[in-house]
Structure 1
Amino acid sequence: MKNMDKDFIDSFLIDFDDSRFPSEFLQNYETLECLANGQMGETLLVKERQTGNFCVAKCYSDKSLLAHTTEGDVLRIIHNDRLPAFIAEYKNEEMICVVREYIDGISLDKFIARNKLSQDQIISIVMQLCNDITYLHEQTPPIIHRDIKPQNIVMDESGKPRLIDFGSSRVYDAEALEDTVCFGTRHFAAPEQYGFSQTDCRTDIFALGVLLAWLLTGDTDIRTSIPAINNMNLQRIVKKCTAFSPDRRYASAAQVKAALINVDGQRQKKMVQGLIGVTVCTAFLCLGFVIGRFTEITPAFLTGSELEFEEPLVEQAVRLSLGKKDGEPISQEDILMVTELYIYGDHPAASSEEFEALGQRMVLNDGTVKNGNISSLKDLSSFTNLKIINIALENISDLSPLSGLDKLEKVVLKHNPVEDVTPLAGLPFLKEIVLFDSRVTDLNSLATCPNLESIDIGKTYVTSIDSISELRNITSLAVKHTVLDSLTGIEGLSRLKQIRLGDVADGDLSLLLLQPELEMLYLDEALREHANPLRGNGQFQIFFD
């Protein structure tokens, strides 16, 4: 095999024609090795001439696909330390070269060929991939990878799986009926990738199911691999992931992760990343890296200091996210894996769906969800990769520990005595904040959050639009169970597409007719009579609840 690889590389280098490549690309990068060569083009290991940094260049030369190549666009959107970073893109009439971060490691298929993994290790790998896929699918619009397979997953130096190769990815278009070009790999490609319908997030769920089946059985054909899975719960998970109809699959990677956490009828918490890290490190020391250089390896379990938590509920939620059992150390590196955190009252949750279900139980007042006792968010100050925080029904008032979490995209802190939101000011990726049933009176400090689109300030101390008048980019506003003095000033929030109102003291809703982009208006029954002048005069729909 080694001689075959050498022969392939030698042959490639002999035939290598650099005249096809964009001149600026050749000026900036030195070509070192061909990592892959296919119909679409070549994947090259390159070195940046100025810095000496190693990078990967995906060079597309198939002219029929040049117009559909979106890898550069997709990588520009991604801001996640676990996913390859975009570096540059070069193009001419014959080729597009997308340069991205090079991740040291060994592909999952080669890693599995050299190591036999336990069921717990397999579940650990897939759960970590669920986190990455969830991140992609939660972009606006969602990013669909469309080619999840062992060859596109690298086990890095610390033993963690890293998803690579976004050459087949696309940004989801809800208006499209089908994909322009079909991509994917046999067995891992979902039926819709063969033209049955357009791909969406559930396409990646299909591939994730095939990957799980392959890890458990060594077989990529689900017709034979599913019956070979001994654990019936895992078999059911794979079946649901790989259902022919997307509607019958899990709706999200978070749901797959939640199912894996509960795979044995109890919380599955035996993440053995340390063991994987040892095996990977041994493999690297023995084999060296693909370009023959040695890199010092410092495993996380040797360098990471054990964390101690101030809030027990926060610790429980972190352990649930990581799949770590009580008493198992949590290191500094572990917390970088946590991108979402869900706690409702006295219950940690594994996903947004489970969080919402707890909320429904709280509304029903069935006694199963009680007030939590979290009073401080200091534990979260070092969770620098957090994207989503959903913590409800606690005693949180101080948000200052969140001020440095600049990757936050969604913050839900309903049923908390929050008064001051200025610690969240300037967060670059914050899109949504829910402060229902809090004590906030003014949110204008959040005008420095450039991507803030949605706010919920129902049942708060806000009584005037002046409290949010500077948030001119928001598209969704909820002010339920709150009485506003009037709607004066709402005309300045001209990008609103959706509004939810509880009550307006002066009963005048006419300013809503000046909203140029308003599509949906939700009103409490108390405003039904006041809404009559709006009927037939606006371009928006009116709903009462």
Structure 2
Amino acid sequence: MLEIGTVIGGKYKIQSVLGRGGMSVVYLAVNEKANKPWAVKELVRKEFQELETERKEIALMKRLKNPHLPSIVDVIEQGERLLIVMDYVEGQTLEAMLREQGAQPVERVLDWAGQLCQVLTYLHRQSPPVIYRDMKPSNVMLKPDGTIVLIDLGAAREFRPELSTDTVALGTCGYAAPEQYEEGQSDARTDIYCLGVMLFQLLTGEGPHRLQPLRALRAEIPAGLEAIVERCVQKEKAGRYQSAEELSYALRHYWEQDAAYRMEQKKKLRRFAAVLGLTFLLGVSAAASGAAERQLRRDSYGAWLLAAGNATEKEEELAACEKAISLDPKRADGWMTLLEDGFLDDQLLTAAESERLRGLLIRYEGDGKTWEQLFRENKRGYAEFAYQAGIAYFYKYEENAGKKNARIWLKAAADSGKLNAWQEGRAERLYAIADYYTRIGQADEAGDDLISYGQYWADLSALTRGNLVAEDNARTALVMYQELVGQIITRGAEFQKAGVEREELESALLEIRKRLGTDFGELSDVEQKAIAAEKQELTDMIRKAERLLESVYGGRKSGG
């Protein structure tokens, strides 16, 4: 063990012991120059396998960046010791809270579960997916501001579809899913099981070894929440929620699991079921042959999409789209209908809709492939969907992370080779902008920006060349112009430092003014009225950008 007062790495002074594990000790250390606390995990090298496990944990933690995960800032080797310096998470573990307070309020547990679903979604979306495998109260920290942080990635592993089982069985008895100790490979659904066990413990205050219906122990727990936890801890993976997004949605709508709610929904769906009844009866009578069975699926697919178009309520429409997708995840029609008619009917993609979409994409089919993997086999259909999804996230997502989320879709569209030239070109340019958004404000170890603002400007200006109204549509043109002008307003100083000439920026603003006067002239009176407010907003932004350039570059141009 390290002695209290020891300075490691020339700057981290050991203050106290935070905790001990089977193979490690965690200390509180302070960087006295910066007056900042850190956690230091001390590992003593014993067995080769243990060392390899810790190296994997370090490699994982170094590449994972999420507000619900601690980050590694330094790794120090001292003889037989390996010292990992990481974020110090102030607060207490949920295990400590259980010891002190017992069962927790339902709303508090739902908040924690929602945050844990977010971090699991992040881990499962990595390439390859990262499976945490050791969800339990002692591995979850609650910060004073209510933020949940998942600590200790020692049991985490990357999902490898070519493997039939885990190479090492890791996990905590009572919380671990059956496949962690039996035949089979752990995957995203393994983490769903572990989280379900922990939710049982948080809601009841009981240990994890004797699972039973929640309401048998605590009658005031909603029946819908009881049903969710029971589904999480199904022995067979197929019986659980198939993704963290799907579980997150269920938790936010737990009342929908109540028997009374389901009865009401059944009444609403009777008319809907009648529309499909004839199709299914005809299909079943013909199912004796393979051709007839395939025809049945095609007819059923179309019937569900028809039902989506005729639905009178939003949830009916979405459920019908999802049913069509489930019949044939390779077909693009269901995916496009879900995105364009289901989610974007109000020209806004919400965070809840995004979670629902991701939950479908990573849902598993019977052969072990996700629906997205099957959809990718339809190269043209997937490319078109990727393009539209990228556009939706880039322009219509309700939260600030829209452009970051657009990045992966735009890259898939740009690289597909299945779209027309202007679509692929636009996807490539938008991808470049989205990629900048993942790096803006970040710096390397030397403190330098991770992006070139000169290249950023070049890519931005390329986006607005040509007649965008004719190439795409008026609303998209306005959004793209607003993007460029907005970046001049917020990044003008960075562009100036990068060597971008004032004339380039002013020329771009002047070009947009001209486009507003010429390219929109072919629109009808109705269309002109629909975008009048946005055009005025853009004109005001241009004036603001021009004033800012005077400030950044100093005075007016000669002759201006």
Question: What is the TM-score when the length of structure 1 is the normalising length?
Answer: 0.50
Structure 1 residues 150-299: aligned runs within 5 Å: 150-221=137-208, 223-226=210-213, 228=216, 230=219, 231-265=222-256
Q: Give the SS at the match of 1:136.
A: helix
The 5 A counterparts of 1:363-512 are 369=342, 372-374=345-347, 407-408=404-405, 410=407, 420-421=426-427, 422-428=429-435
Equivalent position of 1:46 in the other structure: 29
Q: Is the 8 A contact 1:399 1:423 kept in 2?
A: no
Q: What is the CA distance between 1:393 and its match in structure 2? A: 12
Deviation at 1:101? Answer: 0.8
Counterpart among 108, 120, 128 of residue 107 in structure 2: 120
In structure 1, give the amino acid aligned to 2:229. V
* Partner Cα separation in structure 2 for residue 123 and residue 223 of structure 1: 22
The alpha-carbon distance between structure 1 residues 123 and 446, as it changes in their structure 2 partners (threshold 3 A), is farther
Residues 79 and 44 (structure 1 numbering): CA distance in 2 closer, same or farther, change over 3 Å?
A: same
Secondary structure, aligned partner of 2:27? strand
- Closer/same/farther in 2, CA of residues 97 and 178 from structure 1, 3 Å limit: farther
In 1, Cα distance between equivalents of 2:120 and 2:314: 25
Residues 397 and 164 of structure 1: CA distance in aligned 2, closer, same or farther (over 3 Å)? closer
Offset at residue 426 of structure 1 (A) = 4.4
SS at 1:189's partner residue? coil
1:491-523 alpha-carbon deviations (Å, 9 max, x no partner):
xxxxxxxxxxxxxxxxxxxxxxxxxxxxxxxxx
When the two chains are superposed, the root-mean-square deviation of aligned CA atoms in Å is: 5.0
Partners of 2:405 and 2:394 lie apart in 1 by: 18
Q: Distance in 2 between matches of 1:120 and 1:401?
A: 25
- Offset at residue 429 of structure 1 (A): 8.5
Does the 8 Å CA contact 2:95/2:138 hold for their aligned counterparts? yes
State whether structure 2 residue 131 is matched by structure 1 residue 144: yes
Is contact 2:72-2:86 (8 Å) kept? yes
SS at match of 2:254: coil
Return the offset for 1:142. Answer: 1.0
- Cα distance, 1:128 vs structure 2: 1.5
Contact 1:426 1:446 in 2 (8 A): no
Give the Cα–Cα distance (whole angstroms) in 2 for the partners of residues 135 and 350 of structure 1. Answer: 24
Going from structure 1 to structure 2, the CA distance change for 1:200 and 1:361 (only over 3 Å counts) comes to: closer
Larger relative helix fraction: 2
- Residue 91 (structure 1) aligned with residue 77 (structure 2): yes
> What is the CA distance between 1:204 and its match in structure 2?
1.2
Relative distance call for 1:368 and 1:179 in structure 2 (3 A) is closer
What is the rounded CA distance, in whole Å, between the counterparts of 1:262 and 1:401 in structure 2? 20
* Match of residue 517 from structure 2: none
AA in 2 matched with 1:79: K
Distance in 1 of aligned mates of 2:393 and 2:11: 51
Aligned-pair identity (%): 25
The DSSP-based 3-state class of the residue aligned with 2:38 is strand
Deviation at 1:239, TM superposition (A): 2.3
Of 24, 37, 60, which residue of structure 1 is paired with 2:20? 37
Say if 1:355 and 1:150 are closer, same or farther in 2 by CA, change over 3 A: farther
Residue 213 of structure 1, CA deviation: 0.5
Q: Which amino acid aligns with 2:70?
A: P
Q: 1:31 to 1:17 in 2, by over 3 A?
A: closer
Rate the CA distance shift 1:402–1:260 in 2: closer, same or farther, 3 A. Answer: closer
Q: 3-state DSSP class of the match of 2:115?
A: helix
Kindly provide the amino acid, as one letter, of the partner of residue 51 in structure 2.
Answer: L
One-letter code aligned to 1:60: L
Give, in angstroms, the shift of residue 94 of structure 1.
Answer: 2.3
CA contact (8 A) 2:89 2:141 kept: yes
Q: Which residue type is aligned with residue 32 of structure 1?
A: Q
Task: After TM superposition, give the deviation of residue 178 of structure 1 in Å.
Answer: 3.3
Structure 2 portions without partners, runs of 5+: 259-308, 327-331, 360-385, 414-421, 439-454, 461-470, 473-560
2:11 pairs, out of 7, 13, 28, with: 28
Deviations for 1:379-424, whole angstroms, at most 9, x for unmatched residues? 99xx9xxx9999869999968999986743656599xx99955454
Q: Which amino acid aligns with 1:187?
A: G
> Does structure 1 retain, via aligned residues, the 8 Å contact 2:104–2:204?
no
Note the alpha carbon deviations across 1:233-261, whole angstroms, 9 max, x for none. Answer: 32332222222233332221111112212
* Cα distance in 2 for residues equivalent to 1:249 and 1:447: 48
* CA deviation after TM superposition for structure 1 residue 87, in Å: 0.8
User: CA offset at residue 139 of structure 1?
Assistant: 0.6
Unmatched segments (≥5 aa) in structure 1: 1-15, 268-343, 432-443, 450-459, 462-545
> Deviation digits for residues 84-128 of structure 1, max 9, x if unmatched?
122122235523222211121121122344456432222121112
Q: Is the 8 A contact 1:361 1:369 kept in 2?
A: no
Per the alignment, do residues 251 and 405 of structure 1 end up closer, same or farther by CA in structure 2, a change over 3 Å counting? closer
TM-score with structure 2 setting the length: 0.49
Count residues in correspondence: 335
Closer, same or farther: CA 41–445 of 1 in aligned 2, 3 Å: closer
Query: SS of the counterpart of 1:425?
Result: helix
